[in-house]
Amino acid sequence: MLRATLRILQATRVVLRYRLDEPLFHLALMRNWRWARYALPWHWRAEERSFGLRLRLALEELGPVAIKMGQALATRRDLLPLEVADELARLQDRVPPFPGAIARRILEETYGAPVERVFDAFSETPLAAASIAQVHAARLKDGREVVVKLLRPGVDDRIRDDLRVMYLMARFIERFVPNGRRLRAREVIEDYEKTILDELDLVREGANAAQTRRNFEDRPILYVPMVHWEFTHRHVLVMERIHGVPISDIAALQARGVNFRFLAERGVEIFFTQVFRHNFFHADMHAGNIFVDTRDPARPGYLAVDFGIVGSLGRDDQRYIAHNIYAFFNGDYRRVAELHVASGWVRPDTRVEDLESVIRTLCEPILFRPFKDIHLDQLLLRLFEIAQRFDMQVQPQLVLLQKTLVQIEGLGRQLYPDLDLWTTAKPFMERWMREQLGPRGIYREFKERLPDLAQRLPLLPLTLDHALQAVTELPARQQALTLQLAQLEQRLPVRRHGAWLAFGGSLLLIAGFLGGVAAAHPFAAPPALLVAGLAATGGLFSLLRARRT
């Protein structure tokens, strides 16, 4: 708690020193208090630096978590003034580096030998410096060019301090902000904590890169550099060095005659392939991590680095999103509404017709429109309004996917604003739906589950025997339970509704058990479910008796 408080004080000091409170005085609610700015000491001196520069410097000083937020904002040039967006873009690979001598010392401590014994050459001048790590060029003894990624010293402690502050903010939001509990801020931060702490293990990042490289071996639309495992450790990652044009360098891409439409369409294909075919997607796709192979300008390719953050979806979430997108592409808003209700993400008593009407109002104006006419910020704002109306729950497991979507929209807007996203993505989704729901998909699912079914099959006779025995004993158990209930009613007449509640609960459990047997499900729940129902009833009876006495 003390460290979190100190971190809050440090952040406040940084905000005030760089005068980032200036926008507050332009808000409507501050109209009558703008004069107060001149009473604040940090506003007494003249400030010649732009707001964007001050914001970037403040985020750099605040550390990795703040820098990550700035990187995400940098992709949204439609939301920010160009001067601010340009400054935030520098966070992606121009964060002040730590000295090359420290990098050399880290390598020597890791390998237990002088750098010259490991590498034929090592440059102490970094190629790029990011919020968590920085990258140096090197050459192996066999002549291959590589890059060496090193974690920043002390970054682990700083990230954990920032996470403590974020948890304090989450508790404040859930307690004091209207509808704060519905946002499930703590769950979102817990999910983010796991993600960012994973970035501190470079072996994990190497494994993510290797997995993505294998995923695209049969479809070379994305190139991922090879990991050199013999030189990789928790704090050091050594990978093949690639050469490409940063995707944010539009002028260089134009000079090389790159086909921007092809590049944008291929980017959409890569995203949908990762999310729905591989279920393993690069979740940090800001401009600093994406490069373009321009050797064939008519058919440019993508090069990706920095796999510290990757995402995947549960099978149910994946199918839910796929069905939603497919229904959306076909203008089937009723199906979208039904999926929202079936998923449990809105109240179960929600009228499908009401939700359908709201979704149609939200989606119809943007269907089949080019990128330049679609603004995810407006869409997300409308979604938030819908969430409030229908008590929709924020899903923490989808936060990474939402972040990736926003980043991709930012890149797509820079590359080819006239891209027709729906026309590009719809054939892919139709093909995926056929593969998942068609005969091949059903066969593949059966094949995947066959070993588990084979393992359980020998238990089927015993399970059925237990089920039949439970059914045979059920009348006697019900009679005993009825007698017990009658005795309880005599002793606790004023608490009769509690007893009926307990009895009803047990009957629901029994009914569920018998339903499984009646449906001839080969793996219906064993009599333990019946015992659990009776035990729960007995526990409630005991509680009522204890309260009575």
Closest CA to 397 of 196, 191, 193: 191
Tokens of 151: 């974690």
From the candidates 93, 161, 284, 293, give the one annotated as an active-site residue.
Answer: 284
Give 192's contacts (C-beta < 8 A, 6+ positions apart). 166, 399
Structure tokens, 315: 């099978």
Q: Tokens 């790029």 identify what position?
A: 128
Answer for the pair 106, 150: CB distance below 8 angstroms, yes or no.
Answer: yes
Provide the residue type at 536 as one letter: A
- Is 284 known to be catalytic? yes
CB 400 within 8 A of CB 208: no
User: Could you give the CA distance from residue 265 to residue 405 in angstroms, rounded to a whole number?
Assistant: 15
Q: What are phi and psi of 374, to 5 degrees?
A: -115, 130
HSE-up (13 A, CA, CB side) for residue 364? 9
Structure tokens at 40: 């604040």
- Contact of 18 with 54, CB cutoff 8 Å: yes
Nearest to 38 by CA among 50, 52, 25: 25
Strand-pair category, 133-139 with 121-122: antiparallel
Alpha carbons 283 and 268: distance in angstroms, whole number: 14
Query: Strand 301-304 vs strand 222-223: parallel, antiparallel, or unpaired?
Result: parallel
Q: Is the sign of the CA dihedral 339, 345, 351, 357 positive or negative?
A: negative
**DSSP code, position 497:** H
What is the separation, in whole angstroms, between the first and last Cα of the chain?
44
Helix (H, G, I), strand (E, B) or coil at 416: coil
d(CA 317, CA 291): 30
**401 Cβ neighbours under 8 A, 6+ residues apart:** 275, 281, 283, 311, 313, 321
Phi first, then psi: give them for residue 400, nearest 5 degrees.
Answer: -60, -40
- Active-site residue set: 284
